[in-house]
Amino acid sequence: MIKLGVNVDHVATLRQARMTNEPDPVLAAGLADLGGADIVTVHLREDVRHIQVRDVDLLRKMVFSKLNLEMATSQEIICTALKIKPEQVTLVPEKRQEITTEGGLSVTTQRGSLVEVVKKFNDEGIQVSLFIDPDKDQIAASKEVGAQSVELHTGKYANAWGEKQCNELLEELVEGVRVARSLGLGVNAGHGLTYKNTGTVVERLDIEEIHIGHSIISRSLFVGLKEAVWEMKELIHKHYLIKQLSEH
Ligand code: PXP
């Protein structure tokens, strides 16, 4: 079964809008857990614009499933992550002006430094996933630097217009999964996924984890977070069964 990672950054964004103490992303993680989240994800940005070190500290104490820390590779954040010891770090590129993570990490252009970063985490028993575009060279480089898995960026597919473009971008992801698997990498997927497009991703991509933030937190405003997570879990489950049935 595909595991659902719920990203609660947006809860922290709302809190930081008023620089106050509510809503608390730690409480949100607890509700996501009750709704069936398999993984709790937060992105500790260098500019700490939403998630704070305090949040990650507390999450480490209360998440018993899997804590996935998204992060860039700055020294300060690496030190914090090594102290907190999440089960997994997902390395992402970070730009100050971006609204959300825009493109995948360029592994090909920073192999040397990534080998060292991956080793540092692995030595502490922390798994490393690299958030990349479904590009053959980036996937091969991810294997070379020693990552355990890749998270394929589904953003372009999610934002595509028209059936033709959607299909092309979906096929790129299918091929990316195939290449990554053939190299023995674990494969995750995420970004821009919603209650509408997640079913197709589940049916077509042979992945282990699916990471979703915006759509679940948006729905939670109207139905509550536990319910919103549960609805996504059911959707994933249903499409996973359809995939299994179609393969037999
Ligand atoms: N995966 C990664 C690596 C991300 O950076 C994000 C956004 O924080 C997500 C998944 C979730 O994306 P979305 O909020 O669009 O569901």
Tell me: the pLDDT tens digits for 89-101?
999 998 766 676 6
pLDDT tens-place string over residues 99-108: 766 789 999 9
pLDDT tens-place string over residues 212-227: 999 999 999 999 999 9
Distance 247 CA to ligand 1 centre (A): 29
Active site residue 191: yes
The span from the CA of 135 to the CA of 17, in Å, is 36
pLDDT at 102: 72
The span from the CA of 136 to the CA of 152, in Å, is 11
- Average pLDDT on 107-128 reads 97
Q: Is the CB of 157 under 6 A from ligand 1?
A: no
Give the count of alpha carbons within 13 A of 24, CB side only.
10
Domains of the chain: 3-246 (3.20.20.70)
pLDDT at 100: 66
| Single pTM value for the model | 0.96
Cβ 14 vs Cβ 23: under 8 Å = yes
- The two tokens of residue 207 are 């992945």
Ligand 1 atom closest to Cα of residue 193: 16
Active site residue 70: yes
Helix (H, G, I), strand (E, B) or coil at 215: helix
Cβ 232 vs Cβ 190: under 8 Å = no
The span from the CA of 172 to the CA of 182, in Å, is 15
pLDDT tens-place string over residues 48-90: 999 999 999 999 999 989 999 999 999 999 999 999 999 999 9
Distance 248 CA to ligand 1 centre (A): 32
pLDDT at 101: 66
Helix (H) or strand (E) holding 3: strand 3-7
Ligand 1 atom closest to Cα of residue 101: 5
